[in-house]
A and B are shown apart, each in its own frame.
Chain A
Amino acid sequence: MTARPRRLIRGTALVGALALALTACSSADDGGSGGEAVDTASVLEEGGEITVWAWEPTLEGVVEDFEAAYPNVTVNLENVGTGNDQYTALQNAIAAGDGVPDVAQVEYYAVPQFAISESLADLSGLGASELDGTFTTGPWGSVRSGEGIYGLPMDSGPMALFYNEEVFTEVGVEVPTTWDEYLEAARAIHEADPDAYIANDTGDAGFTTSMIWQAGGQPYAVDGTDVTVDFAGDEGTSTFAAVWQQLIDEELLAPVSSWSDEWYQGLGDGSIATLTIGAWMPANLESGVPAGAGKWRVAEMPQWEAGQHATAENGGSSLAVPAAGANPELAYAFVEYATAGDGVQTRIDGGAFPATTADLESDEFRGKEFEYFGGQQVNEVLADSAANVVEGWQYLPFQVYANSIFNDTVGQAYVSGTTLTDGLAAWQEQSVAYGNDQGFTVSE
């Protein structure tokens, strides 16, 4: 309750007339939104029923608050599976033309795939185009394609280096600030304890593309249905591959897959010393790695060149409105509430990492002390990372498929004599072939 006036002011300053119409909807209608945009206030007043497919846990609280604020609206929040499971369900529903949700959670890497098949509604006409500047550049770039806006950023994953301070103290190594130092630290940690590794990696598509992104690489270029996939000639890719290949060759990476039981175990017992991962990780550490409490800290992710401050996004998802949904206006009103309106604070309180610049810049957010991280003001590091995301990255319009074949191609570098470069070449070849089969014009 007390948060309301403050949010109203912040929202007004940064979001503009539309956010005012939303957050101040209980007061008089200000009529400030443009002619073509949805009059959110009256849509919410009229009410109705919408179905939301999402697996993000803090949305439950958002839905409760939303229904309390707008009693005429009923929101059915359904968790139909995480990531790929949900996309399969969504594609099935769209193909069947029945049971399509009004709102769906779609990860940034998957947005182009649904956008280009015209499965998602373009929200720019509904008022999303007025939200320019509300969100940080990485996520905002990820939901846009050409002139269209195919979702509103719900959370973001600017990357940072999460590290187990205890391990570094025991081994007597400085926390790395560049990837060269990271390589040195990896050697020192593994030498001190053969069971300990600086990180785990068995081949992860999201991580690899994010690392290339940070290195300034742009292996993917998308212009409508003209697509370019070029790892071989991409400078960022070769920068990444050169360092990472050494980590693989010297067996300095724990052969443990992320999110597995062994992974959680390794994060707790110190055998996996760092994670270069998205800003949503604190909540996962707190609930999944109780043994690591007090040991973990967060720092800026290592740089490719000393003195730089470049980061990338890893993970994160948007709320999109499927084109076949029955009530796009009400759906948009909910999406806006959850991603740019009052819902944001509810989600932050629940441990989510927002994509809204206003919140990332607020003292309250940045100053929060995390007991798990020894009282460190973690959000400060993470929010700075969000501001330093390298611009211009694009995902493929068939990235869901490309990621699904990552382990058969690039993943080979982790288990056999294949090099990362060879693996990436194979990945490129298969992605190009698939893209052409799907009717894209793909060049290398």
Chain B
Amino acid sequence: MSTTLAPVAPPAVDAPGTRGRRRVATPYLLLIPATIAVFATLLYPVGRMVALSFQRGNLGDLVTRRTVWVGLDNYRSVLTDPVFWTVLPRTVGFAAVCVALTLTVATGAALLLHHASRWARVVLSVGMVVAWATPVLIGAVVFKWLFDAEFGVVNWLLTESGLCECRHRSWLGDQWSAFAVLVSIVVWGAVPFAALSIYAGLLTVPPELGEAARVDGAGAYRIFWRITFPLLRPIYAILTVLSVIWDTKVFPQVWLTTKGGPYQGTVMLGVYIYQKGIVGSQFGVASTIAVLMTVLLLGLSWIYVRAMRQEAR
């Protein structure tokens, strides 16, 4: 799902006056289109994906419409594939770095918003909304240009400010600096939503609590960890899980900047599925990787749903 717009959760209450004496068929009729949309175009593909993961599913099979069942062969070959075991931890590690950085910077930005003068608050929040509104794909395209080796403004800024001699530095040509660029794209796009959410949470914290603690001699650092953070724990829980889910799915960011390079060094799960399936026509193997990725993300989402449930209570 798109990372751009915040999921605005309306209060999930059931109508007190829901009545059962209306015509029985009406609700089912009303649900038909939604059922088609969801089942025919989402649940069927999921079933297809799972089935394919047990089939050979190469291009030849597809053209001749043959179905060759191979049992667990695909799983065996994926799970013994050293590439998979570099891509998986890389994806997880990448997401972990992005989430940690996003939450740290967002907390800083939220605290700034909370303590700034009105005009400065407006400046920062408008700046963040602009970044938040920029579609993921545009963010990736623009960052590629910012980090351009010859004419990128980042190299010029770094060289001019004396931070490094970076006149012709090719950021995307080296695995670790390519990672740094990818992380900055993700964090830049993710911080605004997180920061504005945390700031909205800060506004609900009664100021008396902080004042009382200050009178008792607590510093800003302790006030944050002892009072503010525990009160905002639900927001942090949801932001963490959402970010983990979003930052595991970074196909556009990777594909539009590095295409997984240099030397396959920035390939993550989504790109790997694309390369195996669409490019390599190994649909069975690609589906197996997709199943494993789905299981991973469903596990994480499960934590999210539980966090949401607890909040609803």
- The finding on whether chains A and B are genuine partners in a shared complex, rather than unrelated, reads no
